[in-house]
Structure 1
Amino acid sequence: MTDDLVRLANGVLWPGFLGTEAPEWLLDELRDGLAGVMYFSQNVGEGLPALSDEILRANPDALIGIDEEGGNVTRLESAAGSTLPGAAQLGIVDDVEATRASGAELARRVAAIGGNVVLGPVADVNTDPRNPVIGVRSFGSDQKLVARHVQAAVEGLQSTAVAACVKHFPGHGDTHTDSHHALPEISLGIEELERVHLEPFRAAVAAGVDAVMTAHIVVPAWGAEPATLNPRVLGLLRGWGFDGVIITDALDMAAIRETVGIGEGAARALAAGADLLCIGNPTNRGEATLPDQDRRDFLAARDGILAAVDDGSLSRERLAEAAGRVSRLAQTLSVRAETATPVDYDGSDIVRRAITGVTRDAEALAVVDARRRSTLAVDSASAYVAETLAADGHRVRVDVARTTIDEQDGALDAAVAADGLTVVLVDRPDTDDGQRALVERAALRDPDAVVVNVGLAARRPLPLALVEVGSASRIGAQAARDRLIGGSSRRADPSPDSAGAAD
C-alpha cells in the first residue's frame, strides 16, 4: 500500500483511546492525517484542555468529538452527573428558545475543553416505551415536537465553533433492543417510518446540521443490512440535499463487531456512503479489554479499508470523497470559531420547569434506589443520582433484577425505619415489573412514601405520590430533592461553571 492511500484512509477514521494522555501511536497517526479522536469518560481529567491542545498540534484539522447530550448522557461530568437539562425535560417544557440556549451552552462547554464535534442532539422519536437505550434521551414521542427541538438544538450548538451531529439515522426510537449488544430490527411500514421517524432528521438537515450519525438497525423494508452499511438508507440523506458528514455509530458495538467485524464494517460503511468512521470506546469490552485495545481496533478498521480498496469492493474515489467531506467540516469549524459569541444560561430553571408532581416539607430523605443497571451508552444507574437525592440521608441500592424479594423488603424496611421521608427511586415504572412491585410493597409499609421517577413518565397509576423528573442527572436529582425538602435544608443548584472538569 502506498503512503498516500494510508493517509487517505486515516482521514476517515475517528478512534477512541485509553487513558488521559495521548498515546504515541495516536499522535503519530494524527501527524499522518488521522481525522481526529473521540473522547470518552476514561479520557476526561483536569488536563483535558491540554490534551486537546496536544492533539491539535499533531493535526491542526483534527475533529475532537464527544458524546455529550446533557441529562442522562455526559462524559465531561461523568463522575458527578450532568448539570444540563436532558432532551425529555426540554421536550416537556417545550420552549424552543430554552432548547436553543441549552445547545449553545453545551457547545460552549465542549469548546472550552478543546472539542469541536458534539454527538447530539438525539433526533429519535421514542415511540416504544420499552426502549432500553433511547428513552429520556429523546425529546419525546411526537415527531413534530421532536423535530422543532432538534432544529433548535442544532441551531444552538452550531452558533459556536462546534459541529452538531444528530443521531441515530433513520431513527432508533421504535426498538426494544440495544444495538450495543445485538442488532435491532424495526418492522414498521415505510409510510410510518417516513412520517414519524424521519421528520426530525429532515428538520435537522433543513437547519444546516453539520453531521448525521447512523444507527446499527435493520429496516427490512429497506433491505437486510443495518442502516450503517445500507446504501439505500444513507442515500436518503443525500437525496434530501444533505452534503455534510455522515458519521457511523461506533463500529465496536456488537451489532457490527459480532456480525461483520470492525474491518469489514468500516469498508462496507464507506461503500454505503458514510464519511467518518467512529471506531468506538476501547473500554467497552470490559475485563476483556487489552492494554493496546485502542490501537488494535484502529488498525482493524484501517486494514479493512485498505483491503477493500485493494480487492475493488471500495473505490479509491469513494474513500477520497469521504475524506474530503471530513476535511471540509474541519475548515468550516475553523472559520466559525472566529464568530462564536458567549451566552447567558440557567439550566436549573429549565429543569425546575420540567419536573412535575408532589411537593413535601421533609427534613431528610431515605432513598431506595431501584433503577435498572447502566448500559454502555447511558450511565442511568450511576450513584450520583441517588447520592444527590439523599444527600446525608439514608440511601440503599436495590437491583430488582438480581436480588430476592426478602432482600428488597429488608431494604424497604430499613428505609422506612430511617429518619426522613421514604423515597423509591425508579426509571421504568411502566415496563419493569420488579420496580412496580417494589413500589407496591413500599406503599404497604409507608403510604406517605414518594416515588421519584427519572425515566419516561409513568402512564399506569402508582399507589404512591409521584415526582416526575425526566432525567437521571445530578441537576434533575437536585431539583427533585428541592421539591421534597424544607426550605432551610435546600442545597444550592449545581453551577453550570462546574462543567468541563472531572469533579
Structure 2
Amino acid sequence: MNIDELERLANGVLWPGFLGTTAPEWLQHELGRGLAGVVYFGQNLGPGLSDLSTEILTANPDALIGVDEEGGSVTRLEAVDGSTLPSAYQLGRLDDVAATKANGVEIARRVQAVGGNVALAPVADVNTDPRNPVIGARSFGSDEAVVARHTVAALEGIQGTGVAACVKHFPGHGDTHLDSHHDLPVITLDVDEFDRVHVEPFRAAVAAGVDAVMTAHIVVPAWGEQPATLNAHVLGMLREAGFEGVIITDALDMAAIRETVGLGGGAARALAAGADLLCIGNPTNPGDAAFPDQDERDFHAARNGIIAALRDGSLSRERVEEAAARVAALATKLRGESPNEGAEPLDLDPIVRRAISVTGALPAASDLHVLDARRRSTLAVDSAASYVSRTLAGDGACVRLDVTTASPDEQDAAVDAAHVASALPVILVDSPDTSAAQRELVERAAVRAPGAVVVNVGLAAREPLPLPTIEVGAASRISARLTREMLLGRTG
C-alpha cells in the first residue's frame, strides 16, 4: 500500500479532539479522507456548536461526533456554568431505574441538539475504593448489582433516542486510588472477585446491546502486564462475552499511555490488542505546555504510529480493516436512526432533590457564607469548579481554602470569618472520609462555629460528622442550586 492508502486506512479508526470552535483546515482535510470523526471537549463549545457539527458532517457524513457528557461532575456541554444533570452516584443512591433511564434520554437529547451522535456515558465502574480520585461520584455506586441495573437503564435511555452509548471503563476502574491521567494504576484484587464485581456491569451492558465500550488504562496483573487498553486478553474478554460493537480506547494522551509506550505506540498496540476506535484525547490537557497546533501534532503522532506498525508487520492490515469496518457499521446504524427531534427538555429538579439527604437538623438561614475546602480538580473531574461554591453562596461570601496547605491558624481564621451573625457558615467538602484535613476542618468548625452546616458533594460520609450534613453526591450546578434552596427553606 502507498502512503495515501495507509493514511486513509488509519483515518478510519482515529477519533481526535481539536482546538477551536470551528473545524481547523487539517481536520476538514482528514474528514474528507475518511477520518472516523471527532470528540468534543470544553474548548469546542460556542453558540455555533450545532453549526460546527454540520460542518463536520458535511465533510464526512459518516463522522462519529462524540460528547463526554455524563452529568454531575463531568460535563462538556455545560463546562462553563456546571451540569444541570444528576450524577450517576445520585441516581444510584436514589435507585429508581426509571429516573436513570429518563436521564439517559435527556443526555441523548442534549447530545443530539448539538449535532452529536455518540454519548461517552454511562460509567459502568463499581467504585469500591472510596479514595478513587477519578471515578467517585461518576459511578452509580459500590454494589455491582446496583451499578449493573442502572448502567443498563442509562444506556437504554440513550440508545432509545438514536444516539450511541459508550459504557466505560472496561474492565473496571473502580478499585484504584490512582488517576490514570497521571499514573498507570495496578489493581491486585483477587481476579475472581474482580471478575464477579467489576466486570459484571459490562456483561450486563453487552447483554443489553450497548453500541460501544471504552477501555481503561489499568493493569490487572493476573491478566497480563499490559494495561487493558493494550491487552489482547482483556479486550478478548469482551468478544467472548458476545460483544460485537465498537471497542473505544480511553484517551491515548493520558500519562498511562503517553508516558509509557507513547501516543503512536499506544495507538498501534491498542489496535493490535483488539480496539477499534482510538480516542486521541483533549489537546488542551498539557496546559501551558501545549503547542498552538497540539491537536494536529497528536493526530499525526497516533496515525504515524499505526503506519509504522503496519509497515514493520507488528500490526496487520486485516486487523485495522476489521476495526474500521466496525466503526463504519456503527456510523451506518446511526445514520439510519430517527433523531428524537423536538423533544422537550426533562425537568430534572425532582430527581436530584430526591437524591439529596440530610443528617441532623438544619438551622434557619437567610444568607450563606461558604467555606470551600474541596480537593483540586483533575483532568477528568472538575471537583473544585467554582460554579458549585458560587451557586451555593449566591450573593453571600464564598472563600476557597486549601486545607492541605493552610496552617491551623489560617483555618481557624477562615472558620471565624464564616461565623458571622448575618450568615449561615457552610463547610463545602467532597471527601470527609478519606481526607483527614477535610474532616479536621469540620471538627474545628464544630467547636468554633457550632451553628455551621456541612455540604458534602462527594461520596456520602460513612463516619458521622459533628455538624448537620447535607449529602449531595455531585459537584454540579443543579445540585448546588437545590441545596441552597434547601438551606434557605425555599423548597416546595
Band of TM-score, shorter chain: over 0.9
Preserved CA contact (<8 Å) 2:124 2:148 = yes
User: How far does the alpha carbon of each residue in 1:54-73 deviate from its partner, in whole angstroms, 9 at most, with x for none?
Assistant: 01111011001011000010
Preserved CA contact (<8 Å) 1:161 1:340 = no
Query: Which residue identity is paired with 2:105?
Result: A
Q: Quote the residue 1:297 is aligned against.
A: 298
Query: Which residue identity is paired with 1:329?
Result: L
What does 1:175-186 correspond to in 2, within 5 Å? 175-186=176-187
Q: Quote the residue 1:12 is aligned against.
A: 13
Q: Quote the residue 1:23 is aligned against.
A: 24
Q: Quote the residue 1:395 is aligned against.
A: 398
| TM-score, L = length of structure 1 | 0.95
Q: Quote the residue 2:479 is aligned against.
A: 476
What does 1:245-324 correspond to in 2, within 5 Å? 245-324=246-325
Shift in Å at residue 341 of structure 1?
Answer: 7.9
User: d(CA) in 1 for partners of 2:142 and 2:98?
Assistant: 20
Q: 1:337 to 1:438 in 2, by over 3 A?
A: same
Q: Quote the residue 2:387 is aligned against.
A: 384
Preserved CA contact (<8 Å) 1:360 1:483 = no
User: d(CA) in 2 for partners of 1:341 and 1:161?
Assistant: 13
Shift in Å at residue 335 of structure 1?
Answer: 1.1
Q: Quote the residue 2:143 is aligned against.
A: 142
CA-atom RMSD, angstroms?
A: 1.3
Query: Which residue identity is paired with 1:407?
Result: E
User: How far does the alpha carbon of each residue in 1:232-251 deviate from its partner, in whole angstroms, 9 at most, with x for none?
Assistant: 00000000110100000000
Query: Which residue identity is paired with 2:405?
Result: R
Shift in Å at residue 394 of structure 1?
Answer: 1.3
Q: 1:365 to 1:339 in 2, by over 3 A?
A: closer
User: d(CA) in 1 for partners of 2:310 and 2:404?
Assistant: 48
What secondary structure does 1:336 align onto? coil
User: d(CA) in 1 for partners of 2:208 and 2:479?
Assistant: 29
Question: Among 441, 444, 466, which residue is 1:441 paired with?
Answer: 444
Preserved CA contact (<8 Å) 1:395 1:415 = no
What secondary structure does 1:478 align onto? helix
State how many pairs are aligned.
489
Shift in Å at residue 337 of structure 1?
Answer: 2.6
Shift in Å at residue 338 of structure 1?
Answer: 5.3
Shift in Å at residue 92 of structure 1?
Answer: 0.8
Q: Does 1:375 align with 2:393?
A: no
Q: Quote the residue 1:496 is aligned against.
A: none
What secondary structure does 1:75 align onto? coil
| Percent identical residues | 69
User: d(CA) in 2 for partners of 1:344 and 1:31?
Assistant: 34
User: d(CA) in 2 for partners of 1:17 and 1:351?
Assistant: 33
| TM-score, L = length of structure 2 | 0.98
What does 1:103-142 correspond to in 2, within 5 Å? 103-142=104-143
Preserved CA contact (<8 Å) 1:249 1:278 = yes
Q: Quote the residue 1:501 is aligned against.
A: none
Preserved CA contact (<8 Å) 1:19 1:43 = yes
Preserved CA contact (<8 Å) 2:349 2:478 = yes
User: d(CA) in 2 for partners of 1:486 and 1:166?
Assistant: 38
What secondary structure does 1:337 align onto? coil
What secondary structure does 1:14 align onto? strand
* Structure 1, gaps ≥5 residues long: 493-503
Shift in Å at residue 436 of structure 1?
Answer: 0.7
Shift in Å at residue 359 of structure 1?
Answer: 3.8
What secondary structure does 2:455 align onto? strand
Q: Quote the residue 1:495 is aligned against.
A: none
Preserved CA contact (<8 Å) 2:97 2:153 = yes
Preserved CA contact (<8 Å) 1:81 1:473 = yes
Q: 1:338 to 1:476 in 2, by over 3 A?
A: closer
Q: Does 1:451 align with 2:454?
A: yes
Query: Which residue identity is paired with 1:172?
Result: H
User: d(CA) in 1 for partners of 2:29 and 2:409?
Assistant: 56
What secondary structure does 1:417 align onto? coil
User: d(CA) in 2 for partners of 1:185 and 1:86?
Assistant: 26
Query: Which residue identity is paired with 1:243?
Result: E
Q: Does 1:333 align with 2:330?
A: no
Preserved CA contact (<8 Å) 2:362 2:453 = no
Q: 1:361 to 1:172 in 2, by over 3 A?
A: same
Preserved CA contact (<8 Å) 2:184 2:219 = yes
Q: Quote the residue 2:346 is aligned against.
A: 345
Q: 1:335 to 1:264 in 2, by over 3 A?
A: same
Q: 1:142 to 1:343 in 2, by over 3 A?
A: farther
Preserved CA contact (<8 Å) 1:279 1:298 = yes
Q: Does 1:427 align with 2:419?
A: no
Shift in Å at residue 161 of structure 1?
Answer: 2.0
Q: Quote the residue 1:499 is aligned against.
A: none
Query: Which residue identity is paired with 1:376?
Result: L
Shift in Å at residue 410 of structure 1?
Answer: 1.7
Q: Quote the residue 1:62 is aligned against.
A: 63
Shift in Å at residue 412 of structure 1?
Answer: 1.2
What secondary structure does 2:284 align onto? coil
Preserved CA contact (<8 Å) 1:160 1:340 = no
Q: Quote the residue 1:101 is aligned against.
A: 102
User: d(CA) in 2 for partners of 1:339 and 1:444?
Assistant: 54
Shift in Å at residue 340 of structure 1?
Answer: 6.7
Preserved CA contact (<8 Å) 2:109 2:340 = no
User: d(CA) in 2 for partners of 1:239 and 1:306?
Assistant: 29
User: d(CA) in 1 for partners of 2:362 and 2:387?
Assistant: 22
User: d(CA) in 2 for partners of 1:83 and 1:108?
Assistant: 13
Query: Which residue identity is paired with 1:190?
Result: V
Query: Which residue identity is paired with 2:413?
Result: G
Preserved CA contact (<8 Å) 1:360 1:486 = no
Preserved CA contact (<8 Å) 2:372 2:398 = yes
User: d(CA) in 2 for partners of 1:67 and 1:403?
Assistant: 34
Shift in Å at residue 7 of structure 1?
Answer: 0.7
User: d(CA) in 2 for partners of 1:319 and 1:468?
Assistant: 47
Query: Which residue identity is paired with 1:124?
Result: D
Query: Which residue identity is paired with 1:466?
Result: T
User: d(CA) in 1 for partners of 2:446 and 2:340?
Assistant: 56
Shift in Å at residue 406 of structure 1?
Answer: 2.2
Shift in Å at residue 419 of structure 1?
Answer: 2.4
User: d(CA) in 2 for partners of 1:291 and 1:211?
Assistant: 32
Shift in Å at residue 5 of structure 1?
Answer: 2.1
What secondary structure does 2:102 align onto? helix
What secondary structure does 2:377 align onto? coil
User: d(CA) in 1 for partners of 2:30 and 2:401?
Assistant: 45
Shift in Å at residue 418 of structure 1?
Answer: 6.0
What secondary structure does 2:334 align onto? helix
Q: Quote the residue 1:500 is aligned against.
A: none
Query: Which residue identity is paired with 2:384?
Result: A
Shift in Å at residue 47 of structure 1?
Answer: 1.0
User: d(CA) in 1 for partners of 2:478 and 2:313?
Assistant: 52
What secondary structure does 1:475 align onto? helix
